[in-house]
Amino acid sequence: MEMESFCSEVVAVQRMDYSVMEALVVEMALVAGICLSYPMFKVIASVGVAALAAYAVFKELIFEPKEYKIFGKALERVQNDSQVRVRIGSPVTGYGSESRNRSARQRIPNRTWTDEDGIEHVEVNFYIRGPHGAGKVFSEMFKDKVDRQWKFTCLIVEIKSRSPAQLMLESYVPA
């Protein structure tokens, strides 16, 4: 009898050892999976951050934002206007704000919105300077639904030099 109880105890211990070993193996596999997935997560997260940075740079450098397109069109229109050239001289340069900070001069204050008809509008304000004076430009353009081109709603130049004046170079109300 003693032998039978001893054998049953040995079998019970062996079964317990197998279940403990199974639990250890499962736990080790989970830990190994976590250990392997954590570096993989870091790699995937790093690639994601790099992709976002590349997209932002690509978008800024390759695709010109609409406010800069509007600024360029308005500045070109102002530079080609004879009234402006007579009052502040030529060449006329445009910049974002009256500041010694180069970054501030390059930022063009703007506002973008869509009206109730679904027409996109962009408003930009910037400063101009010529050899004989300076001024401020207020410009608003909308994207025409028919030909998908930007058109002026208004373009006003406020001259702040010898003879201050306010010139309305463009005025248009879409139908």
Q: Is 160 exposed, middle or buried (0-12, 13-18, 19+ CB in 10 A)?
A: middle
Evaluate whether 148 touches 138 at the Cβ level (below 8 Å).
Answer: no
Q: Is 58 exposed, middle or buried (0-12, 13-18, 19+ CB in 10 A)?
A: exposed
Q: Say whether 24 sits in a helix, a strand or coil.
A: helix
pLDDT of residue 13: 44
CB-side exposure of 115: number of CA atoms within 13 Å?
12
Cα 93 to Cα 137: distance, rounded to the nearest angstrom: 12
pLDDT of residue 154: 94
Structure tokens at 52: 């976002």
pLDDT of residue 24: 62
Which residues of the chain, if any, have pLDDT below 50? Answer: 1, 3, 5-14, 16
pLDDT of residue 144: 87
Evaluate whether 122 touches 67 at the Cβ level (below 8 Å).
Answer: yes
pLDDT of residue 159: 93
Q: Does domain 66-171 have CATH number 3.10.450.320?
A: yes
pLDDT of residue 59: 67
pLDDT of residue 9: 45
Structure tokens at 46: 């790093």
Q: What is the mean pLDDT of the chain?
A: 78
Distance between alpha carbon 110 and the CA centroid of its chain, in Å?
14
